[in-house]
Amino acid sequence: MVLVVGIAIIFFTMYLSLTNGAFDIKVMDVIRTLLRIDPQPDQDLVILEFRLPRIVIALLVGMGLGIAGAVIQSITRNGLADPGILGINSGASAAMVIFLFFFQGQIKGDGLASIFAMPLFGLMGGLLAAMLIYLFSWKDGRLESQRLLLTGIAIGAGLGAVSLYLTLKMNSSDFEMAVVWNSGSIYNANWKYILSIVPWLVFLIPVIVRKSYILDLFHLDEDSVISVGVASEKEKAVLLLCSIGIVSACVSVSGGIGFIGLMAPHIAKRLVGNAHRRIIPVCGIVGAVLVLVSDFIGKMVFAPAELPVGIVIAIIGVPYFIFLLYRKKGRN
C-alpha cells in the first residue's frame, strides 16, 4: 500500500510538472507528444528536452540519495547520519568543482568520455573523502561510528572550503553555474546526465538490496554481529562503497542536495518498520517524491524565477533535523 500510494504521488506530480510552467501544456498534448501522435516542434522541445529529463533526474537522484542514506544510518548506527553530514557530498562536490575549473568545455563530443567524465570525477572525490574519513575513524581494528561522524563533519568542512576557494577563482559565468550547482539544482538536466547516472544505480542498488539482511544485523552490537558469522568490517566496506558510488553519481548531475538521505529513512521506518528489505525500496520512493515535489515547488512558487531544489529541501530538512535531534535527546 505504501509503495502504491508513493507511486501515485509520483505520477500526479509528474502530471503537474509536465503540464505546468512558463509554457502551459494540456494533458492531451502531452500524451500525443509522448506517443508521437502529430508531434509539434515547440511541445517536443518543452516536454522532451526540458521537462521530462528534469523529472527523470529528480526521480533517480531522490531514489539514490534516499537508499544511500538508509545504508549509512545503518552502518553508523546513528539516525542523524546523512551523506552530507559524513562529508561524502563535499568530496564529490569538491571534485566536481575541480572538474569545472580545469576541464569545463575541454571534453567534447557524444562519446563515453564526455558522458561519464563528470560522474567519474564525482566518484573519485567521494572515494577520496571516504578514504580519509575511514582512515581517521578506524580504531582498534574497528570502525567507530562516533568518530566516523565527527571526522566526516571536519573533512566535509575542509573540502567545502576548497570548493569555495576554486569557485571564487572562476570567471563570472562559471562562478554563477558553480554556485547554483553547489546549492543543488536539476534545472539543467538532460538525457546525457540520465545516461551517466543510470549504470551506477542499476549496478549498486541491487547489491544493497541483496545485503539488506546484513543491514538488519547492524542493529545489534559489534560482537553479536561477528558471532553470527558476518564479516562485519568487510560488509561495512562493501555497503559504504556502494553508498559512496550512488551519492557521487547523484551529486555529479544534481549538485549538493542535502537532507534526503536523512529524512527518507526516518519516514520509511515510520511507514513500514525496521526491516531493511522493506525500508530500502520505500526509501527510494520517499526520496524520489521529496526531490520531485521540491523541484516542482521551486519551479512554480517563485515563477518566473526558480529556486534550486536543494534550497527547497533544506527549508524542509533543517527543521526536521532539529526535530529528530530533540526527539533523540528526549529519549536519552
Mean pLDDT of 304-322: 84
- pTM comes to 0.89
Residue 110: per-residue pLDDT: 53
Residue 20: DSSP 8-state? -
Domains of the chain: which residue ranges? 2-331
CB atoms within 10 A of CB 36: 8
**Cα within 13 Å of Cα(4), Cβ side:** 1
Q: Which residues contact 298 (CB under 8 A, 6 or more apart)?
A: 306, 307, 308, 309, 311, 312
The x, y and z cell numbers of residue 250, run together, are 547523484
For residue 247, is pLDDT > 70? yes
Count of positions (residues) in the chain: 332
Q: Give the phi and the psi of residue 256 in degrees, each rounded to 5.
A: -85, 80
The x, y and z cell numbers of residue 189, run together, are 538536466
Whether residue 148 contacts residue 133, with contact meaning beta carbons closer than 8 Å, is answered with yes
Grade residue 8 by pLDDT with cuts at 50, 70 and 90: very high
Separation CA 313–CA 89 (nearest Å): 15
Q: 2-331 adopts what CATH topology?
A: ABC transporter involved in vitamin B12 uptake, BtuC (1.10.3470)
Average pLDDT score over the chain: 83
